Structure 1
Amino acid sequence: MSFGDPNNPYGQPPQQPPAGPPGYGYPQQPGAPQQGYGYPAAPPMSQPYGGGPVLSQMPGITRAAQIMLGVIALAHVIIAGMYGYALSQWDETMVEAGITGDSEAEAFADLGKGVVVFFLGLAAVFAVLGLVLVLQYAKGANGVRVCSIVYGSFAIVSGIFTLAAYGLGLVIMIISILLIVFSAKRATADWFRRPRY
C-alpha cells in the first residue's frame, strides 16, 4: 500500500482549503484579496462610530427649505404691512361709510378693527418666527427642522385666511407644502443631526 494510490481508502486525503471566510485566523490563499479585519483592509470610517458621512455643507434640498421658509416669512411681513395700512385707513373708511353716531354700528366697526389688529399681530409674529428659523438653519439642531415642519403647517392655515389678498394666500399654501416635504426629507434630517465639534 502506498499513499500515492488514489483508490486506496487508507491513503492520505487531499488537502482542501479551510471552511471559513478568509481573514482573521485563517491562512490566506495566494492571490486572494484580504477582506475586513484589521488596519490595512478596513475601510476608513467616515463618521465616529460608523454612522453616515459627515456633512460639511448644507444639502441643496435643505437650502431650498431654508429659502422657502424665508419666502413665507417675507410674505407674512407683506401681509402685516397690508393689515397695518388697512388699520391706518380704518377711521376714514368708517366716516365715509357713514357709521358715525349709531352706537350699534360703531360697536361692529370696533369689533372689525379688533379683528384686523389681531391678524396684524399674528402676521407679525409669524414673520418674526420665520426669520428666527431661517437664521438657525446653519447651526441649529433637529428642533429647527421640526419647528420648520410645524411652522409650515400653520402657514398653510394662514394662507387660507389670506386667499383674497391678490393670490398671496395660494402662494403661501403651495410654498408651505413644499417646505414641509423638504424639511421631512432624509438629507435635511441628516444635516440637522450631524455631529458638531
Structure 2
Amino acid sequence: MSFGEPNNPYGPPQGQQPGYGHPQGQQPGYGYPQAPPAPQGYGQQPFPTTMSGTVGAARVLLWVIVGLQLIGAGVFAVLGASVHAARNDSELKNNSNFQQLADYSTGWLWAITVFAVAWAVFAAVLAVKFNTGGNGVRITILVFAIITAILGIYPFVIVGLLHTVLAILIAVFVGNSGGSAWFNRPRQQPAY
C-alpha cells in the first residue's frame, strides 16, 4: 500500500474540496469550547485590602453616635444633679413647672446617664474593631445598630430621631456585600 492510492484510509486526504473539513489556519477542537482561564485563588473572589467607602462611613457614623451619646449623658447628668439640688430649695417648692420636673426620680436620670455612657463605650469599642474584627464583629455591629434604631424610635422619639437615622445607615453599610467582604477577609496570622 502506498499513500498514493485513492482508497487508502491511512493516507493524506486526496482532492478535498474547499469548505469541507477544518478551516485553514485553525487547529481542530475536540468537542467543547475552551473554558476561560481560572481567576486568581481558584474560583474565589479576591479579598479587599482597603476598607470600602460604605464600611468607612459606617465607622465614622459609629463615632458620631459615640459623640452624641456623650453629649446626652452630660445633659442627663446635669439635669439629674440640678433636680437633686433644687428639690430642697424653698422658692422652687411653690413653682408648679419645677414640681413637674421634680417628680422625675433622680435615680432614673442617673440610670439613663449610666446607660448613655455604657452605650457610648460599646459603640467606641465596635468602631475600633473595624480593622481587626471578623464576621462576629459585623454581626454585633448589625445588632447594635438595630437596637439603637429601635431605642431611637420608642423611648427617645424626638432626641432619638438622629440616632435612628444613623443606626439604619450603619446597618445598611455593614450589612451590604462590601461590609461582608471586609469583615470576612483573611487576616495574617501572627508569627511566633
Q: TM-score, normalised by structure 2?
A: 0.72
2:111 is equivalent to residue 118 of structure 1: yes
In 2 relative to 1, CA 149–54 (structure 1 residues): closer, same or farther, beyond 3 Å? same
Q: d(CA) in 1 for partners of 2:74 and 2:150?
A: 19
2:84–2:106 contact (8 Å) kept in structure 1: no
Q: Which residue of 2 aligns with 1:50?
A: 43
1:72–1:155 contact (8 Å) kept in structure 2: no
Q: Which residue of 125, 148, 152 corresponds with 1:155? A: 148
Q: d(CA) in 1 for partners of 2:47 and 2:171?
A: 24
Where 2:157 maps in the other structure, the secondary structure is coil
Task: For residue 92 of structure 1, report the CA deviation from its aligned partner.
Answer: 2.9
Q: Which residue of 2 aligns with 1:178?
A: 169
Q: d(CA) in 2 for partners of 1:158 and 1:78?
A: 17
1:69–1:148 contact (8 Å) kept in structure 2: no
Alignment RMSD, CA only?
2.9
Q: Deviations over 1:49-71 (max 9, x none)?
A: 53111211001110011111111
Task: For residue 19 of structure 1, report the CA deviation from its aligned partner.
Answer: 4.6
Task: For residue 18 of structure 1, report the CA deviation from its aligned partner.
Answer: 5.2
**Share of identical aligned residues, percent?**
30
Q: Deviations over 1:3-51 (max 9, x none)?
A: 5xxxxxxxx9x756555125xxxxxxxxxxxx45xxxx83451x4x531
Task: For residue 87 of structure 1, report the CA deviation from its aligned partner.
Answer: 1.5
- Unaligned segments of structure 2, at least 5 residues: 8-15, 23-27
Task: For residue 111 of structure 1, report the CA deviation from its aligned partner.
Answer: 6.4
Q: Deviations over 1:57-115 (max 9, x none)?
A: 0011100111111111211111111111112212233235328xxxxx9xx95861121
**1:1-197 correspondence to structure 2 within 5 Å:** 3=7, 15=21, 17=28, 19-21=30-32, 35-36=34-35, 42-45=37-40, 47=41, 49-94=42-87, 95=89, 96-98=91-93, 112-160=105-153, 161-164=155-158, 168-197=159-188
Aligned residue pairs total 161
1:142–1:193 contact (8 Å) kept in structure 2: yes
In 2 relative to 1, CA 81–158 (structure 1 residues): closer, same or farther, beyond 3 Å? farther
